[in-house]
Amino acid sequence: MSKAEKRLAAFKTLLADAHTRLALEFGFRLWDGATVPADWPSDALTIAIADEGAVAALTRAPRLPTLANLWAARRLDILNGTIFDLVAKRPKARSRELRRNLLNPAALGVGLRFLFTPRGGPWPLESVAQDRESDGSEAENKRNIAQHYDVSNAFYRLWLDEEMVYTCAYFHDWSDSLDQAQRNKLDMVCRKLRLAPGETMLDIGSGWGSLAFHAARNYGVKVVGVTLSKEQIGFAREKAERLGLADRVSFELQDYALLEGRDRFDKISSIGMFEAIGASHFSTYFETLRRLLKPGGLYLHHAITRPGKRGADLGANAGGGKKRPEFAALTRYIFPGGELDHLGRTIASLESHGFEIHDVEGWREHYQRTCRFWHDRLLARYDEACGEVGEATTRVWLAYLASCSIVFSRNACGIYQTLASKRVKGASGLPPTRADLYR
């Protein structure tokens, strides 16, 4: 028996033992075509390992970047199910218990067999640089946004709704379709801002223009949208002409902080953009909002948040802190330069920059469902997506969307809409109740 055959035999024994001791509800298929357990049904949930180099790589570097590369290259795969199915059938034991079960002498002995085995390839994500905090320059912001949004308009069109809305949908009922829920969201944003004919509105991070078009068509406002994505702005400008809205809606390829003027806009929206600017630039962000918004004008802040920690600094200038490993991987491969605030600090920042807080609404479960819709729609058009952006990119996005949905289902992240106004003395101008929003 060769060394490779001995390694494989030892690995099979280890997996079979783990399968029994942990009562796993999924099996394994190895590079020789065998399954563990040997009689595992061909249609049951299975983790496929394509080559022994994948095991060697995980033995030497059992970290998320290793796992991400193996997943992207399809050297690790899930058969007869999805990431959601695998998570649902994960071992129920606590992390400490799992480590004690897995890190035993037999496991360490098998690991030594693979320690010096070549890790093989390919490694499609290895060339992606480690994420670092943005320096705040327009050039770096453009590079970061391009990595996320300039993948391909056609790619996003495969799995977004008909209006190309790439932010959390709003479900009046959990049975709503994605298209309906996104229409609900666009209208809720406009109603919260109390848009009125003839007003001017700034949409920061305007994406493919869906909110700007909805506001102009249905509420009679003039909208300026800003984005740093060349793909998005080309799409939005063409759509404005096609819809006959170019006289009421304009889009600028510009950093929000470089917008000129003071007291220019009656209303400002920021829907899913704040997460991209980095914690050290939060103060610049809120100062810019205050400069651009008219006194008494309304601002709607829609952003993903991380939970606040006991004893956390709620000051407006508090730093972002060290990123959790899973979020560091997310920002490296999907969303470079990103950082999540926590709700308490967002409110403190708004107040310290001259805003009055009126309403806060949590949308966590809405985003869980939105991300699940996106994942399932992308998976349904997998072959088309691979043809558009390649299989590695498609697989990374599937993992990203699934992970987001799971994170929100576990309440590890939140998402809030916060309505504020530029502080004035006297009446805010808002109605005495919010009954009109939920009619």
Q: What is the pLDDT of residue 135?
A: 53
pLDDT-based confidence at 143, cuts 50/70/90?
Answer: low
**Mean pLDDT in residue range 66-88:** 97
Give dist(CA 49, CA 71) in Å, integer. 10
**Mean pLDDT in residue range 81-92:** 93
Sign for the pseudo-dihedral over CA of 40, 45, 51, 56: negative
- Domain positions in the chain are 3-114, 138-438
**Mean pLDDT in residue range 339-361:** 96
pLDDT-based confidence at 316, cuts 50/70/90?
Answer: very low
Give dist(CA 185, CA 134) in Å, integer. 30
pLDDT at residue 61 greater than cutoff 60: yes
Catalytic site residues?
A: 404
Tell me the CA distances in angstroms from 407 to 44, 77, 303, 377, 410, one per residue in order: 25, 21, 15, 19, 5
183 or 311, which is more confident? Answer: 183
pLDDT-based confidence at 107, cuts 50/70/90?
Answer: confident
| pTM of the predicted structure, to 2 decimals | 0.91
pLDDT-based confidence at 317, cuts 50/70/90?
Answer: very low
**DSSP code string of 348-406:** HHHHHTTEEEEEEEE-HHHHHHHHHHHHHHHHHTHHHHHHHH-HHHHHHHHHHHHHHHH
Find the angle CA(197)-CA(202)-CA(206) to the nearest 5 degrees. Answer: 115
| Fold observed for domain 138-438 | Rossmann fold (3.40.50)
pLDDT-based confidence at 280, cuts 50/70/90?
Answer: confident
pLDDT-based confidence at 98, cuts 50/70/90?
Answer: low
407 contacts 387 by C-beta, under 8 angstroms:
no
- Helix H or strand E segment including 27: strand 27-29
**pLDDT tens by residue, 217-246:** 999 999 999 999 888 999 999 999 999 999
SS3 341: strand
Tell me the CA distances in angstroms from 105 to 14, 229, 257, one per residue in order: 11, 52, 57
Give dist(CA 334, CA 337) in Å, integer. 10
pLDDT at residue 337 greater than cutoff 70: no
Strand partners, 422: 355
SS3 204: strand
**pLDDT tens by residue, 400-435:** 999 999 999 999 999 999 999 999 999 999 999 999
10 contacts 43 by C-beta, under 8 angstroms:
no
